[in-house]
Homo-oligomer: A and B are copies of this chain.
Amino acid sequence: MVTRMSRFFVRTLREDPADAEVPSHRLLVRAGYVRRAGPGIYSWLPLGLRVLRRIETIVREEMERIGSQEVSFPALLPKEPYEASGRWEEYGDNIFRLADRKGADMLLGPTHEEMFTLLVKDLYSSYKDLPLSIYQIQTKYRDEARPRAGLLRGREFVMKDSYSFDVDDDGLKRAYEAHREAYIRIFDRLGLDYVIVQAVSGAMGGSASEEFLATADNGEDTYVRSPGGYAANVEAVTTVAPAPLSDDAIAALPAAHVEDTPDTPTIETLVAAANERFARDDRPWGAHDTLKNVVMWVRQPDGSREILVVGLPGDREVDLKRLEAQLAPGEIEAFEDGDFASHPALVRGYIGPQVLGEDSESGIRYLVDPRIAAGTAWITGANEPGKHVFDLVFGRDFTADGTIEAAEVRAGDPAPDGSGPLELARGIEMGHIFQLGRKYADALGLEVLDENGKLVTVTMGSYGVGVSRAVAAIVENSHDEAGIVWPAEVAPFDVHLVATGKDPAIFDAAASLADDLAAAGLEVLYDDRPKVSPGVKFKDAELIGVPTIVVVGRGLAEGVVEVKDRRSGTRENIALDDAVATVKVRTARG
């Protein structure tokens, strides 16, 4: 097909949109791919829709290749299934809720685990029906607190979500592996730079889980990697704990002693005071020798809340995303002045672990960073204003109700698998695969008869690809100062043909070449605008980013056209007669 620029519903902009924070947003709006319709809500212009459709096609082909079957669920959903799974409450403000004219509660689906589970329950009843993998490419909704970055974090977006259904764990693992391979093919074909990282499952429940992140300096997600190949999102990193000391070694450690430490409300002032008045011979005290105890409320979706104190080395901050991933679906709330007043066991600024723990008198839950291992000795609060305790040993002088991964991860921390020091990097979450297990099947009663005629609960996997987000992520990965540089497989057109000058013979030759290119099976964008200067046409072509640009201009007199590679910028004169063959070779898709 030939699309003529003179009639094409597109306008490029010279100025960046005022609200654009990232290159993809800036370029997709300027080049006429999308337009903002509201906060976090975009309309697709013909250019944008072409890219979106090409991505959908790739996703569809790879899903079909692993035998997944396409279905399509409504976006507007009844509350009841989400209430049965607990997610109606868990999602809090993050979903759009509404009531219909009869007052029935409904939601705009953020993901469809419940609906897929119920559909399979409706249709299937025997182990012989399984395994099953079904998917949809569908519009989803999330009421983001801060919609930002254009298509990267919108409130209405297109996702591919798929679900696998198996009778046993081995089946689930096979389904998971098949999806993993399909995702590798998808993101390879999309031309993305990406990493696969270990992930915790978060609010979705379940066990094994990996994310596909497009690498991007301004990505929202932080992940870590090691020289030895370990990669994980920050929420999933586990801390390498020191080896615990034996009981005998612990007994040989110096006894704990309480010291006056006036005016030491912060870790810095405490360390300074310790070095001034209680100096050690071998090495100075550091923040890593102190144990700070952070107190907070944890609120559950049912509205109940309890106090939690988290103990961690004084040189580490709490990472809220890591902490919340551990506590989900619970959410953190601040512990206020009034809360201290009504809990006198917690002495603000001087909380020590001696009074904490579910078995202690206070009954307050106490979880510690894994670095707080048996035999480690700490300076920490003495539960009296102005006093700290030194040489307080874990496993001898205090204990905890368990460990928690709440501390920040830092560059240089050891990878949990021993593959070297961690490096921090940023990315955009493009895909997520995980082994859900039986959470939804249990909640909604999805059982089948097994070989022995016994009812067994089905085990599920859940797999997502951000389809509209991919449009933006590809641009983040692939652009330059002049505009977008599309990988051939997702480009809106195969070739951008530009006619320059005013000579009608040039326009005739270009129109005829456009037809020949289309006849060769290519999608052609033909810039036939009669009164637009070559400079503007070239600028528009670079901004729009079709990978192969053909210019019909003055060279026509010598029977040549110019073929330009958008990515490298290289130009080549080609005989007009060879143009179709040359372009066809260049635009061949992966």
Contacts and interface: CB of A to CB of B under 8 A. Distances in A.
Interface of A: 7-11, 32, 35, 37-39, 41-46, 49, 52, 67, 69-78, 93, 96-98, 100-101, 104, 106, 108, 115, 119, 122-124, 132, 134, 139, 141, 143, 145, 155-156
Contact of A123 (B9, B73, B106): B9
A329 B179 CA distance: 52
A508 to B, nearest CB: 22
B38 A78 contact: yes
B7 A123 contact: no
Given A71-B9, A75-B156, A155-B76, A43 B124 contact: no
Total copies of this chain within the assembly: 2
Contact of A75 (B70, B75, B104, B122): B75
A52 B52 CA distance: 19
Contacts of A143: 100-101
Contacts of A41: 74, 76-78
Contacts of A32: 123
Contact of A74 (B42, B45, B104): B42
Contacts of A39: 104
A78 B37 CA distance: 8
A45 B106 CA distance: 22
Contact of A71 (B44, B76, B132, B134): B44
B97 A98 contact: yes
A108 B7 CA distance: 31
Nearest to A154: B74
A73 B104 CA distance: 27
A72 B471 CA distance: 15
A98 B101 contact: no
Nearest to A1: B64
Nearest to A155: B76
Nearest to A116: B43
25 contacts: A9-B71, A9-B134, A11-B124, A35-B122, A35-B123, A38-B74, A38-B76, A38-B78, A39-B104, A41-B77, A43-B71, A43-B72, A43-B73, A43-B115, A44-B71, A44-B72, A44-B73, A45-B71, A46-B134, A75-B139, A76-B141, A76-B155, A93-B101, A96-B106, A139-B139
B38 A123 contact: no
Nearest to A98: B98
Given A38-B74, A71-B45, A96 B98 contact: yes
A124 B67 CA distance: 45
A156 B74 contact: yes
Contacts of A7: 67
Nearest to A118: B37
Nearest to A104: B39
A76 B140 CA distance: 10
A117 B172 CA distance: 49
Contact of A43 (B69, B98, B101, B119): B119
A98 B37 CA distance: 17
A584 to B, nearest CB: 23
Given A76-B141, A124-B11, A49 B35 contact: no
A8 B129 CA distance: 9
Contacts of A43: 71-74, 115, 119
A35 B120 CA distance: 11
Nearest to A133: B9
Contacts of A44: 71-73
Q: Which of A35, A43, A119 counts the most B-chain CB atoms under 10 A from its CB?
A: A43
Contacts of A69: 8-9, 46
A294 to B, nearest CB: 28
Nearest to A93: B101
Contacts of A75: 75, 139, 156
A132 B49 contact: no
A8 B70 CA distance: 11
A41 B79 CA distance: 13
A477 to B, nearest CB: 23
Given A11-B124, A49-B72, A35 B108 contact: no
A188 B365 CA distance: 71
Q: Which 6 A-B pairs have the closest CB atoms?
A: A98-B98, A38-B78, A44-B72, A93-B101, A11-B123, A41-B74
A46 B71 contact: yes
Given A37-B115, A71-B45, A101 B145 contact: yes
